[in-house]
Structure 1
Amino acid sequence: MNLGELGGFLFDQPLLTLTIAAILLAVTAGMVSAARPRVGQVMRNAAYLGLVAALLLTVAQLAGHNGRSEAALWLDRTRPAEIVGKETVIAMRADGHFWVEARLNGEPVDFLIDTGATYTGVSNRVARRVGLRPNEKDEGVLMDTANGTIVAQMASANSLRFGGIEANTLPVAIGPDGEVDTNVIGMNLLSQLASWRVEGSRLILVPKGR
């Protein structure tokens, strides 16, 4: 392998390159420490930081390949939807579900797209943050959740937007804190679309009139 091939190989392997550079720096630091202690200490500290950075990046890379690990779920944060032509595309997250970063009454809220939910729903904590208030004389509705049956209060959201999708005056169920851990977009919004479908690891939503 000539120098050109070696350089290309190292360029394609940034973690390996970082590790080798840190090790070489540590060796050099040991060689110069006797004559110039301060310079040697600075070089040694830089080498340690390089090795720690390489280790952390390696762990992150392994977690990313293991899609079901807790680290992968933490690293795979909820993202905004992507607009492709007339369609809104949501990528599947590492947990196998479709999550989207939306704007509820103008405030950012992470939602799970749940085709099994009748209503779009949020926790009471999120409702307070975005200015959702239960409808007057609302007696609540019974809803089945992962934590059992709860009594949710109904409110009306001025707007819910993500990608090319926007719903106005949308009924939203507000669940009690501690019993509702996940905000969901349910069928009362999805039924307003022209169509929606799943293609592989993508959820594709098509609004009406486009």
Structure 2
Amino acid sequence: MNGDDFGQAIYLVVLGCAIAFWFFVENRQGLGKTLRQMSAWVLIFIGVIAAIGLWGDIRQTVRPQQSVFAESGRIELPRAPDGHYYVTLDLNGVPVRFVVDTGASAMVLTRADAERAGLSLGELAYFSEAMTANGLVRTAPVTLDTVAVGPFTDARVPAYVNEGEMDKSLLGMSYLQRFDRIEIAGGKLVLER
């Protein structure tokens, strides 16, 4: 601490003491009530400072984000609070959020996500079927021009559009097998090429 810092610290201490002295003199009739209110404001101030300091951890817990390490060819997907792993892929240049489903054999799009990716729903032919947890559903095979995540871009990727209702698109094994390594450890799903 140099001389300027020491002088500023003394100034702030003296100023704080003067304000505290004025505060207690002005409120000497209800000193107990004043101390309770002051304690409440000090705790609120400490809580705000703690929340600001921990915001990165809080945000990662509430809404975890995928991390892309392009130089090492690795993508890390944190486990979401619901226990699933989510990844955002660019389909034909449009970001689409998928739930990673190692039990699904293919990439399956909701109709809304397919439309956002530029596929015409009116031209889809639902002639194939898939067995899901909700029973048998009809699907339409499609080919996506590009699928990109981080530094990886794949062309002419086969997928299906589900005719039934789905909350999220599913990223199944037909796409996941493009990675050399898939590992789940420490609350993260790691994909490497």
- In the superposition, the TM-score normalised over structure 2's length comes to 0.63
Distance in 1 separating the partners of 2:72 and 2:132: 35
| Superposed CA offset, 1:68-92 (max 9, x none) | xxxx999325545454613222222
The 8 Å contact of residues 156 and 169 in structure 1, kept in 2 or not, is answered as yes
Task: State the match for 1:87 in structure 2.
Answer: 74
Distance in 2 separating the partners of 1:81 and 1:176: 32
Task: State the match for 1:158 in structure 2.
Answer: 145
Write the letter of the residue equivalent to 1:99: Y
Task: State the match for 1:106 in structure 2.
Answer: 93
Q: Give 1:124 deviation, angstroms.
A: 0.6
RMSD over aligned Cα, in angstroms? 4.1
Task: State the match for 2:170 in structure 1.
Answer: 184
Distance in 2 separating the partners of 1:138 and 1:150: 13
CA 1:146–1:73 in structure 2 vs 1: closer, same or farther (change >3 Å)? farther
Distance in 2 separating the partners of 1:95 and 1:137: 32
Q: Give 1:150 deviation, angstroms.
A: 0.8
Distance in 1 separating the partners of 2:161 and 2:65: 21
- Secondary structure of the 1:161 match is strand
Q: Give 1:103 deviation, angstroms.
A: 0.9
Distance in 2 separating the partners of 1:196 and 1:135: 36
Q: 2:103 aligns with which of 116, 125, 148?
A: 116
Q: 1:147 aligns with which of 134, 146, 163?
A: 134
Distance in 2 separating the partners of 1:118 and 1:135: 25
| Superposed CA offset, 1:93-122 (max 9, x none) | 222221112211111111111111111011
Q: Give 1:195 deviation, angstroms.
A: 2.4
Task: State the match for 2:3 in structure 1.
Answer: none
Distance in 2 separating the partners of 1:202 and 1:168: 27
Task: State the match for 1:195 in structure 2.
Answer: 181
Distance in 1 separating the partners of 2:169 and 2:67: 15
Task: State the match for 1:10 in structure 2.
Answer: none
Write the letter of the residue equivalent to 1:124: R
- Secondary structure of the 2:112 match is helix
Between Structure 1 and Structure 2, whose CA radius of gyration is higher? 2
Indicate the structure whose relative CO is greater, using CA pairs within 8 Å and at least 6 residues apart. 2
Task: State the match for 1:42 in structure 2.
Answer: none
| Superposed CA offset, 1:16-72 (max 9, x none) | xxxxxxxxxxxxxx99xxxxxxxxxxxxxxx99x96xx69x97xx8xx88xxxxxx9
Q: Give 1:198 deviation, angstroms.
A: 1.7
- Secondary structure of the 1:128 match is helix
